Amino acid sequence: MAKQRVFSGIRPTGRIHIGNFLGAVQNYVKLQDEYESVYCIVDVHALTTLEDTSNLQQNIMEMALDMLAAGIDPKKSILFVQSHVPEVMELFTLLGMVTPLSWLMRVPTFKEKARQQPENVNYGLVGYPVLMTADIILYKAEVVPVGEDQLPHLELAREIVRRFNDKFGPTFPEPEARLTQFPTIIGLDGKEKMSKSLGNFLEVSATPEETRKKIGAAVTDVTRIRRTDFGHPQMCNVYSLRKYFTQDVLDDLTVACTTAKIGCVECKKQLAEGINRALGPVRERRAEIAKDPAYIRDVLADGAKRAQALARPTLEEVKKKMGLE
Ligand code: SF4
């Protein structure tokens, strides 16, 4: 039986952090064997929020490098840059003709972004879910790995697909969500989702020493003031991170924390060592691949070629159905 096709886009924010790694990239690596995988570095989406684009090319290369180091295999997956397949812009425009503005105005992330950047509420920002839909359906992807926070976007994509199919006849599969195993990773501030813009992140490519320093400064259970206070693992983000990196000793840690047998300083040291152990092989691969930037460019060029071969017939079909050809 033919494999289903999975699509996912990731913003070119440069080097990936452990939130990206646990929440998305590690999952991409697993999905490669199960699905025909199409992974896209979405540079056009980045323009909706970026004021300064001078680092964009460098960020794309860093992200591709990190994805390859994490285990994305170009023989199994198509890895490419969104703008290298310009057919997506055409489909974006055409889908705009079947998408009511009211659907876009009610998207929670649009309202949030408009609040965050009131001086730059651009047309691309409101159209973001339409471009995201174009990204997915241009390749007729059937499955999209998403975190829970992205479910409303995917539902909107499904609504756009239904509307298109109703109007012009069955054309696209309705993409299904595949929830990632690690939906949301909270940042080292212990409050918000890990993100570059909030500065609460740890890069996968950090050195062991940088890792120790950053984890050493991470916020723990804020109710634990003195070393002798009993800790509350369920209120501690360091504990949440230890679930991923030092899982084997978690039961002992729960007891030690709740009885104050371990202090937060020691606990964070153990987490940092766990991260360094777990990411060691990825960091080594990264250093190897980084020696050959031409290889990364070749992977992306080949990915764009393969993606375009899927995109062209879809766009032809859409144009015919919409009466443009
Ligand atoms: S000992 Fe560890 S799990 Fe317990 S509060 Fe401190 S950092 Fe958190």
Pocket test for ligand 1, best of 226, 261, 262 (most atoms within 8 A of CB): 262
Sheet with 36-41: strands ordered across: 77-81, 36-41, 5-10, 143-146, 176-179
Query: 212: CA distance to ligand 1 center in Å?
Result: 16
The C-alpha angle 322, 324, 325, rounded to 5 degrees, equals 115
Distance from residue 66's CA to the centre of ligand 1 (Å): 30
pLDDT for the residue 184: 80
Count the Cβ atoms, other than its own, within 10 Å of residue 254.
15
- 267 pocket-lining for ligand 1 (C-beta < 6 Å): yes
Q: Whose CA is nearest to atom 1 of ligand 1?
A: 264
d(CA 60, CA 42): 9
* 246 CB near ligand 1 (under 6 Å): no
Q: Is the pLDDT confidence value at 1 over 80?
A: no
User: Atom 6 of ligand 1 has which residue's CA nearest to it?
Assistant: 264
263-290 confidence digits (pLDDT tens): 999 999 999 999 999 999 999 999 999 9
Ligand 1 and 77: CB distance under 6 A: no
Q: Of all atoms in ligand 1, which is nearest to the CA of residue 236?
A: 8
Determine the distance separating the centroid of ligand 1 and the alpha carbon of 197, expressed in angstroms: 26
Distance, in Å, from the CA atom of 33 to the CA atom of 255, rounded to the nearest integer, reads: 38
Alpha helices in 174-249 (DSSP H): 208-216, 237-245
- Ligand 1 contacts CB of residue 271 (under 6 A): no
Give residue-wise pLDDT tens across range 27-65. Answer: 999 999 999 999 999 999 999 887 789 999 999 999 999
The reported pLDDT for the residue numbered 34 is 94
Catalytic residues: 113, 193, 196
Which of 178, 170, 96, 105 has the alpha carbon at shortest distance from 134? 96
Distance 41 CA to ligand 1 centre (A): 36
d(CA 273, CA 37): 33
**In this structure, are strands 77-81 and 36-41 parallel, antiparallel, or unpaired?**
parallel
Determine which residue's CA is closest to atom 7 belonging to ligand 1.
264
281-286 LR contacts (CB < 8 Å, sep 24+): 282/21, 282/69, 282/70, 282/71, 282/204, 283/69, 283/204, 283/205, 285/68, 285/69, 286/65, 286/66, 286/69, 286/204, 286/205
Confidence of residue 182 (pLDDT cuts 50, 70, 90): low
pLDDT tens column, 166-177: 999 999 999 999
